[in-house]
């Protein structure tokens, strides 16, 4: 599933793209905004795979937005002006949709995003077989600690630092939580809150909005923004309930 964000200063254009995303089974809407500054904050806090981005906006242009984005998410440009296509592709836009956008043309661009995502996943799975740990710098000067991915229970973001929690240890390092999220294998780890990443393999139980873990008294809150994606990821494992 590809997580999408719509950034456009016209609410009508946003509504059309929302309808198109709802009709496309491999896309899911993470949010929308008419404010590109707010959009940058959303991308910093959430894992956004794909942005449908307008070019002409009052605060900053879509092209300047892409420069600030620095490749954190893939972009499909949406605009009524064709003259910016070359510059858009130079900034590595996946596609360039001219308004008014027909659904068939939208679907073609979305398929391109899906193919790119599948290629990236295949490359990651190949690398993952050899890359199952990282070294992080700790509070002690000159000291680096090896962190095995299969030992991580959850990660907590603390402004400019993160705390990597295992069953036996707590490692504090100067890292951005988004940077570590991008490095962890997505089939085993998931962002469940603005400040938390959890290992899906270490979850013991769910109690309301609290995620509990094996061999630990600590729990992690499940943020409302991440709730739907979290339960979607767990859906195949859920059994029982009301009939």
Q: What is the pLDDT of residues 176-198, one digit of tens each?
A: 888 898 888 888 899 999 999 99
Q: What is the pLDDT of residues 128-167, one digit of tens each?
A: 554 688 888 887 666 788 999 999 999 999 878 999 999 9
Dihedral sign (CA 32, 36, 38, 43): positive
Neighbours of 82 (CB within 10 A): 9
CB 29 within 8 A of CB 18: yes
Three-state DSSP at 54 gives strand
**Residue 126 CB partners (closer than 8 Å, separation 6+):** none
Q: What is the pLDDT of residues 50-80, one digit of tens each?
A: 999 999 998 899 999 999 988 889 999 999 8
Q: How far is CA 164 from CA 9, 60, 159, 222, in A?
A: 39, 36, 14, 18
Q: What is the pLDDT of residues 224-241, one digit of tens each?
A: 888 888 888 777 655 555
When the pLDDT of each residue in the chain is averaged and rounded to a whole number, the result is 86
Three-state DSSP at 102 gives coil
Q: What is the pLDDT of residues 18-38, one digit of tens each?
A: 999 999 999 999 999 999 999
């Amino acid at each position: 599933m590809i997580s999408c964000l719509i950034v456009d200063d016209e609410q009508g254009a946003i509504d059309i793209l929302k309808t198109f995303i709802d009709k496309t089974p491999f896309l899911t809407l993470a949010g929308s905004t008419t404010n590109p500054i707010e959009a940058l904050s959303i991308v910093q806090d959430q894992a956004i795979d794909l942005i449908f981005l307008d070019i002409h906006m009052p605060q900053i242009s879509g092209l300047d937005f892409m420069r600030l984005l620095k490749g954190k998410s893939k972009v499909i440009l949406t605009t009524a002006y064709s003259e910016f296509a070359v510059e858009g592709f130079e900034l590595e836009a996946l596609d360039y949709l001219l308004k008014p956008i027909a659904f068939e043309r939208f679907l073609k661009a979305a398929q391109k995003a899906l193919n790119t995502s599948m290629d990236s996943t295949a490359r990651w799975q190949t690398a993952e077989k050899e890359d199952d740990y990282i070294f992080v710098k700790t509070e002690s000067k000159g000291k680096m600690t090896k962190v095995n991915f299969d030992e991580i229970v959850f990660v907590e973001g603390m402004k400019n630092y993160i705390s990597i929690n295992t069953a036996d240890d707590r490692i504090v390092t100067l890292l951005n939580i988004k940077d570590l999220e991008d490095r962890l294998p997505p089939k085993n780890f998931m962002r469940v809150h603005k400040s938390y990443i959890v290992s899906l393999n270490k979850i013991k139980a769910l109690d309301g909005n609290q995620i509990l873990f094996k061999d630990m008294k600590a729990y992690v809150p499940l943020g409302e923004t991440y709730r739907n994606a979290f339960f979607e990821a767990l859906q195949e494992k859920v059994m029982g309930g009301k009939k």
